[in-house]
Amino acid sequence: MKKKIFLISGILIILIVLLVPFKRDTLEDGGTKIYSAPLLKVVQWYHSGLSVDYEDGTWHETEPYYSTSIYFFPRNLKNINDLAKEYWNYED
């Protein structure tokens, strides 16, 4: 019985270590936050609502945009720039 308790508690501890994310970084884009764990990455996307019209150089204010994405292994290993390209659907 004690072996089962130790085995179950050991498995729970390993799962907690692998799946509970900690705050890793805040980007300078206005507040996008990244939380990481070995098996997942949580990104709280933030778009400030300011955009520039490149034809006449004026700034337009829109509603701020908030969203959360969860990336599981192996996609959690990509850097934030690659994840942003996927998320916002743009190419270089």
Three-state SS sequence of 45-83: EEECCEEEECCCCEEEECCCEEEEEEEECCHHHCCHHHH
Q: Where are the domains of the chain?
A: 19-88
* pLDDT in the model for residue 92: 56
* Single pTM value for the model: 0.73
* pLDDT in the model for residue 13: 95
Q: What's the mean pLDDT in 26-48?
A: 87
